[in-house]
Chain A
Amino acid sequence: MKYNALTRHYFEATAAAGILEGPGVGRGASGSRALGTWVQFDVAAARGRVVAARFLAFGCPHTIAISAWVAESAVGGVLEPSLPADIESLREQFAVPVEKLGRLLTVEDAWSAAVVAARALAGAPEG
């Protein structure tokens, strides 16, 4: 399978890979390694904004690349469960085949779970 330049870049240059530790870090995961796709995000937030994010991902290059992009792009933005870009826009930017749409939803679910966890730790209302 061929991958576009953006996918290749984030698949190979994964500066945001890893985990965050410490109080106030929300962690969320989705998927299953046994089923081929698993994503985890750690999110640190302050005053309702993302100050740091890391990811781990087991999956195809699109899954890894988009997870890396999300972890990088979310920093500085508002702490919210939706991804920094909508699924259709990500699918186009990263040239994700339509049959892989479910894997993008796994990324979204993991991010959403991490944000919910971070909000809970901060005592902020969910939503």
Chain B
Amino acid sequence: MYLDHAATTPVDPRVAAAMSRCLTADGVFGNPGSTAHDYGEAAGNLVETARLQVARAVGAEAADVIFTSGATEADNLAILGAAEYYRGAGRHVVTARTEHEAVLDTCRELERRGFEVTYLKPDRRGAIGVDQVEAALRSDTVLVSLMHVNNETGVIADIEAVAAACARRGVRLHVDAAQSVGKLALGFTRAGIDYLALSAHKAYGPKGVGALLVSRRRGAQLKPLQFGGGQERGLRSGTVPTHQVVGMGLAFEIAAASTAADVQRLTVLRDRLWAGLEAQGGALRNGAPELCVPHVLNVSFEGVEGESLLAAVSPFIAVSRGSACASAHGEPSYVLRALGRSDQLAQSSLRFSLGTPSTQQHVDAAIAAVGRALRHLRKLGGA
């Protein structure tokens, strides 16, 4: 039973069908850059349709969309590219301790390149306040990078307020929105965001494709990180994979159309799940409920060890400890530690993330599986 949709989602069958039509000789297999013939032109048209679909899903303009291999590449391109472009104006960057490693590791690379990075600490609700951001801005700050929805806790950042604060100080804002599409309405242009990283596979699209939105209207600039062909406005050279971006475009169109209904349904399921887990005793919710997206529920459990908890529930439900990227390390979640949880509680947390296929039966089975695991492990541990 799959309850790990924040890690990845299954590809929507309509998306898979559209992608498969771009692969073989009887389909649109041309190079979208080969504008001299019909094959290339047909592929190019599909790419531009996908660009428009992605843009519409997040309130952007099609010309803002730069296709990448995923959100990690988009984060790298935004942070390294913007910092290097604006290096002459300053070498200070602001981010948060609770960002995805795609952002944190890239910021560490910036430090190796001579930049200074301020890592903001969230409050106990898991939120970064706009006042914290404003207080961290300096005359030499060139970039702020914050995520829209935290991938471990589901806490939503007030990106519009942060964007306004950055705009007042003339600082560029990058937002990692990998977890947002299909769960939250997002207005890229209206909010005044400069760069936005997106991932297809979190929204029932394929893995291996994402996008970085670079606001033309706001005049946001970047230095490219790779060269050879000048595709994607010269910011991301390399043949655009038609099937991948077609999949992303359709997935985002479907997600945007179903957001409101999904939010309502998932909120009911998430609340039922929390009520059932809380009733087991010793369950602590991570991230303030009023700030969280409907599909993510992160809970620390007292009196059990995290690896054993996951091992005990894994035959019945697929959930994770923290992000998929970080959980391989087996260390306590740095995100939950930043929220003030002890090492033990940070380590004994589970992230449940619901999705389109999730049902009340899935939620009830998850509650039962966790309940059995807690009783077993607490008895073994003498709790």
Which residues of A are in contact with B by a Cβ distance under 8 Å? 1, 3, 11-12, 14, 17, 19, 33-34, 36-38, 40, 56-61, 64
Contacts and interface: CB of A to CB of B under 8 A. Distances in A.
B318 to A, nearest CB: 14
Contact of B305 (A14, A17, A58): A58
A1 B311 contact: yes
B305 A56 contact: no
B305 A1 contact: no
Contacts of B229: none
A36 B380 contact: no
B379 A17 contact: yes
A64 B378 CA distance: 12
Interface of B: 304-305, 307-308, 311-312, 330, 342-344, 347, 376-377, 379-383
A13 B342 CA distance: 30
Contacts of A11: 308, 311-312
A56 B381 contact: yes
Contacts of B379: 17
A57 B307 contact: no
A58 B382 contact: yes
The 6 closest A-B pairs by CB, nearest first: A58-B381, A56-B382, A60-B307, A61-B311, A61-B308, A17-B380
A1 B307 CA distance: 8
B382 A59 contact: no
A11 B373 CA distance: 11
29 contacts: A1-B311, A3-B311, A11-B308, A11-B311, A11-B312, A17-B380, A33-B381, A34-B342, A34-B343, A34-B344, A36-B305, A36-B343, A36-B344, A36-B347, A37-B305, A38-B381, A57-B380, A58-B304, A58-B305, A58-B377, A58-B381, A58-B382, A58-B383, A59-B308, A60-B307, A60-B308, A61-B307, A64-B308, A64-B380
